[in-house]
Amino acid sequence: MLVGYARVSTLDQNLDLQRDALVSAGCAAERIYTDQASGKNTERLGLRDALSFLRPGDILVVWKLDRLGRSLTDLIELVQGLAARDIGFRSLQEQIDTTTSGGKLAFHIFAALAEFERDIIRERTHAGLAAARARGKKGGRPTKMTERKRAAAMELLSDPQGKSVKEVCDALGISRATFYRHQAKESQ
């Protein structure tokens, strides 16, 4: 069975073009699921409903690849998830059909390119971090517990009025976890 999915990004856009193309491709009008939401929105109810309706042997049909996935990586994950459930995928504009050998090949090429892109980004990130460390830069969030705050905490705790750890932390603007973590470092 052919099951259609159509999406537009904003409420003022129209789904008619995509619906007409999906019906022309053989999708029954009542088997076309739709969303009017940005592609980056992970909560796409129409897509969720379409994916839960699909059964082994069915084919999910979209008008264009970018209507299904937020990114190439997301698209590949979705289609691989369909394949694992023995569900085909067809994109009308790009003429990709994973139920055919040629369509599978085209999609595997997309997947290889996406993996290559992820590896390049990872390599650049690691190289940038290594270069920053070589220049003496330390990454990560700056510590809330400065030497001055540590000294103030110790002074407040040793005060005869007997401030509690919670009161000390509230006064210094740090969490109790931060206090205890630095106290443990101190005792080592």
Residues belonging to the active site = 9
Q: Using the 8-state DSSP alphabet, how is residue 37 labeled?
A: S
Strand partners, 33: 5
CA pair distance 68, 111, nearest whole angstrom: 15
CA pair distance 61, 63, nearest whole angstrom: 7
H runs (alpha helix) in the chain:
16-24, 45-53, 72-84, 101-134, 147-158, 165-172, 176-187
